[in-house]
Amino acid sequence: MQGYNCIMVFHKDKKQLLFCYRTRDPYLGKYNLVGGKIEPGEDGFTAAYRELWEETGISRDQIRLSHMMDFTYYNQNCRVEVYVGTLTCEVTLRREKHPLCWLPLTENFFDLERFAGEGNIGHMLEQVRDYGTGIIFPADSADI
């Protein structure tokens, strides 16, 4: 089963969420969270930090990710791991393929005309608001 990740990056001000604007399929012309493939044998946290660096230039010393939830799509033979973090400092974003932008948390993330994921982005944000961000990487737990 192929693994993927998507990463919810909250701005340091906690009022904005990072998005890429898709310039190709899937989800051409829609806003999506950053993320990508988990390589064979790669740990989920390692993959999330790697994808975050590749797609945005955000390094692991600028954010601490938590593993919040997973989606398993048996009909597509894949799973998606969802990670969440808030920046600890100001960053200069560096795009890889798709333009990056901060959108305010007042957006309607369930708007299927603007946002990818069939409503999953809105659902994930509600989960963060209602239940928190999930499990922090074990090596970081001593820092709490």
pTM: 0.92
Residues lower than pLDDT 50 in the chain:
141-144
Q: What percent of the chain has pLDDT over 90?
A: 90
Record the tokens describing residue 142, joined without a space.
Answer: 């001593």
Phi, psi torsion values for 56, nearest 5 degrees: -130, -20
138 near 44, Cβ under 8 Å? no
**What domains are there in the chain, each with its CATH number?**
2-138 (3.90.79.10)
For residue 144, what pLDDT is reported? Answer: 31
Q: What is the pLDDT of residues 84-104, one digit of tens each?
A: 999 999 999 999 999 999 999
Q: For the beta carbon of residue 129, count every other beta carbon within 10 angstroms.
A: 9
